[in-house]
């Protein structure tokens, strides 16, 4: 191949992590327990019995980690703030030591010329709030707005780019319907209620932050994936419509069109939860945003299986869709079993661009788990991850060529980390972490990413 695939000037080259997955220091610095601390301690919930108690020990090693980011040439770093570090009880007085950690982290990034991007909620709800009902309770939305305002007030002089929630679909449906994420509830109706309360929390938080000043560039991170019918038949098309509804449009429509989609309301009708949404809720949820963070990992191919029960099957995140089959293809997969399909990314970005009001888009997560092993020289040759990232960046570039206002890309993840129910076995980092010694080793993909950043794009023509 000749030539280069260059991105527009000013394109943001980043990497992302989240608090519970890397910080450790779970009982230090005044941090209170989160629902993930509780969940991980229940035998059988997390592979290998792993917890985030130590994780990548980033709480103590953040300076080393920001130096590593500087060495890669990162322009931006997306991290999340642990609510229970800032408010151990989830409400009431803030813990100054907790806020101070994030101030020091932001300062260290700024010293290296790296833009801090803050996500306020990446799934680590204070356990004290779960004890009062968690996301099943509307009260949690108000608590989140108070917490968001406290963090914004403390960091607004250092941080310009903010997102409220990471992947509310996962928090609601993996956490409350499938029960494979904290808090481990398996009740579809509760999951739908939690989804609405998460969106209300987002809306109330944006109001509270904008009431402090007009400053924040504000958005949300959604996990969005194209959904493709397995055949041309009407039943499979309807299955695709329904999965797209409960996965993508359940969040996109209230945020960007001001209402829940009518077909989804009908599909979920029997479960309740969304009907309580009054005009005030919907207006808060739809308050204008400055950016949308897109987390993309895969495409879904679905088929109708009318002989399967729609409701009441085994616990699943796909509420009221027990009669939909997720069809495997022969595409290559990551170690997590996720099919690799870069073409889903430009398809998704173009859809967002044409179907929803145009606002700046950022890919705020994209990456792959592979079983990386250091070789005899201590290097980590992760060619498969390089191919994955290269393919997806090319898809991002195609989207930009097609007119999409895509302004940045964040690799998931900077470091190997605690991959939720999978524990430490699934390594997503471009930097290898040897957990017993906490030694960091940039993988070949980190060196490859550094070259891409320095070049402003990829080797070889589009």
Distance CA 194, CA 137 (A): 8
How many residues touch ligand FCB under the rule CB under 6 A: the total is 12
Which backbone phi and psi does 263 adopt, to 5 degrees? -65, -35
Nearest to 78 by CA among 398, 335, 308, 295: 295
**At closest approach, how far in Å is the CB of 214 from ligand FCB?**
29
**At closest approach, how far in Å is the CB of 365 from ligand FCB?**
6
Any alpha helices (H) in 28-57, and if so which ranges? 35-41
SS3 286: coil
Among 23, 37, 65, 167, binds ligand FCB (CB under 6 A): 167
Q: What are the contacts of 273-277 at 24+ separation with CB within 8 A?
A: 273/189, 273/192, 273/193, 273/195, 273/196, 274/192, 274/195, 274/196, 276/196, 277/196
Q: Does 18 bind ligand FCB (CB under 6 A)?
A: yes
Q: Does 334 bind ligand FCB (CB under 6 A)?
A: no
Q: Does 166 bind ligand FCB (CB under 6 A)?
A: yes
Q: Does 390 bind ligand FCB (CB under 6 A)?
A: no
Q: Any catalytic annotation for residue 23? A: no
**At closest approach, how far in Å is the CB of 226 from ligand FCB?**
16
Among 147, 173, 420, 448, binds ligand FCB (CB under 6 A): 420
Q: Does 428 bind ligand FCB (CB under 6 A)?
A: yes
**At closest approach, how far in Å is the CB of 229 from ligand FCB?**
24
Query: Is the CB of residue 20 less than 8 Å from the CB of residue 122?
Result: yes
For 232-304, strand residue ranges (E) read 291-295, 300-304
Restricted to residues 251-310, the positions that interact with ligand FCB (CB under 6 A) are 295
Element (H, E) at 19: helix 19-22
Span from 34-42, 166-174, 254-262, 312-320 in contact with ligand FCB (CB under 6 A): 166-174
Restricted to residues 222-241, the positions that interact with ligand FCB (CB under 6 A) are 223
For 91-157, strand residue ranges (E) read 115-121
Nearer to ligand FCB, 5 or 295 (CB): 295
Query: Is the CB of residue 58 less than 8 Å from the CB of residue 22?
Result: yes
Span from 106-114, 151-159, 164-172, 253-261 in contact with ligand FCB (CB under 6 A): 164-172
Among 37, 124, 236, 419, binds ligand FCB (CB under 6 A): 419
Span from 45-53, 162-170, 202-210, 345-353 in contact with ligand FCB (CB under 6 A): 162-170
Q: Any catalytic annotation for residue 365? A: yes
Restricted to residues 41-100, the positions that interact with ligand FCB (CB under 6 A) are none
Q: Measured between alpha carbons, how far is residue 116 from residues 68, 160, 318 in Å?
A: 15, 8, 34
Query: Is the CB of residue 137 less than 8 Å from the CB of residue 197?
Result: yes
> Pairing relation of β-strands 324-326 and 300-304?
antiparallel
**At closest approach, how far in Å is the CB of 167 from ligand FCB?**
5
Span from 57-65, 127-135, 246-254, 412-420 in contact with ligand FCB (CB under 6 A): 412-420
**At closest approach, how far in Å is the CB of 95 from ligand FCB?**
24
Nearer to ligand FCB, 154 or 194 (CB): 194
CA dihedral 234, 239, 241, 243 (to 10 degrees): -170
Partners of 218 in the beta sheet?
162
Among 102, 173, 412, 432, binds ligand FCB (CB under 6 A): 412
Distance CA 242, CA 225 (A): 13
Q: Measured between alpha carbons, how far is residue 330 from residues 229, 327, 349, 369 in Å?
A: 16, 10, 24, 18
Element (H, E) at 13: strand 12-16
Catalytic residue among 115, 167, 347, 419: 167
Q: Does 173 bind ligand FCB (CB under 6 A)?
A: no
Element (H, E) at 347: helix 343-355
Span from 126-134, 163-171, 211-219, 399-407 in contact with ligand FCB (CB under 6 A): 163-171
Nearer to ligand FCB, 293 or 457 (CB): 293
Catalytic residue among 23, 115, 347, 365: 365
**At closest approach, how far in Å is the CB of 289 from ligand FCB?**
19
Ramachandran class of 206: left when φ > 0, alpha when ψ lies in -120 to 50, beta otherwise = alpha
Would you please indicate which residues are annotated as catalytic (active-site) residues?
Answer: 167, 365
Residues near ligand FCB, by CB under 6 A: 18, 21, 166-167, 170, 223, 295, 365, 412, 419-420, 428
């Amino acid at each position: 191949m000749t030539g280069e695939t260059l991105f527009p000037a000013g394109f943001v080259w980043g990497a992302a992590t989240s608090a519970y997955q890397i910080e450790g220091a779970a009982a230090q610095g005044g941090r209170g327990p989160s629902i993930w601390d509780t969940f991980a301690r229940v035998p059988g919930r997390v592979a290998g019995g792993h917890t985030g108690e130590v994780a990548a020990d980033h709480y103590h090693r953040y300076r080393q980690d920001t130096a590593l980011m500087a060495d890669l040439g990162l322009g931006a770093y997306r991290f999340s703030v642990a609510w229970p570090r800032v408010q151990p009880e989830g409400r009431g007085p803030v813990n100054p030591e907790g806020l101070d950690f994030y101030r020091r982290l932001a300062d260290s990034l700024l010293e290296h010329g790296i833009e801090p991007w803050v996500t306020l909620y990446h799934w680590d709800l204070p356990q004290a709030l779960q004890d009062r009902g968690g996301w099943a309770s509307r009260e949690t939305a108000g608590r989140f707005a108070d917490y968001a305002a406290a963090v914004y007030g403390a960091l607004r002089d250092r941080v310009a780019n903010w997102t409220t929630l990471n992947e509310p679909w996962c928090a609601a449906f993996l956490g409350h319907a499938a029960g494979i994420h904290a808090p481990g509830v398996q009740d579809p109706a509760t999951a739908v209620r939690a989804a609405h309360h998460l969106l209300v929390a987002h809306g109330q938080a944006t109001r509270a932050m904008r009431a402090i000043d007009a400053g924040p560039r504000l958005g949300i991170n959604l996990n969005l994936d194209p959904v493709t019918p397995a055949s041309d038949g009407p039943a499979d098309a309807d299955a695709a419509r329904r999965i797209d509804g409960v996965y993508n449009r359940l969040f996109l429509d209230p945020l960007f069109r001001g209402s829940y989609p009518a077909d989804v309301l009908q599909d979920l009708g029997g479960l309740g939860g969304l009907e309580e949404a009054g005009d005030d809720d919907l207006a808060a949820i739809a308050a204008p945003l400055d950016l949308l963070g897109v987390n993309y990992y895969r495409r879904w191919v679905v088929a109708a299986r009318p002989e399967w029960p729609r409701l009441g099957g085994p616990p699943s995140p796909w509420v009221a869709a027990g009669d939909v089959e997720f069809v495997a293809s022969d595409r290559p997969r990551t170690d997590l079993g996720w099919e690799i399909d870069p073409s889903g990314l430009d398809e998704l970005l173009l859809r967002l661009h044409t179907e929803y009001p145009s606002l700046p888009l950022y890919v705020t997560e994209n990456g792959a788990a592979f079983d990386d092993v250091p070789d005899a020289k201590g290097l980590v040759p992760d060619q498969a991850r390089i191919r994955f990232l290269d393919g997806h960046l090319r898809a991002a570039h195609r989207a930009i060529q097609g007119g999409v206002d895509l302004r940045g890309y964040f690799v998931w993840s900077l470091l190997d980390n605690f991959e939720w129910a999978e524990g430490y076995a699934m390594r997503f980092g471009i930097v290898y972490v040897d957990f017993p010694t906490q030694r960091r080793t940039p993988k070949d993909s980190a060196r490859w990413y550094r070259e891409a950043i320095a070049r402003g794009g990829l080797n070889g023509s589009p």
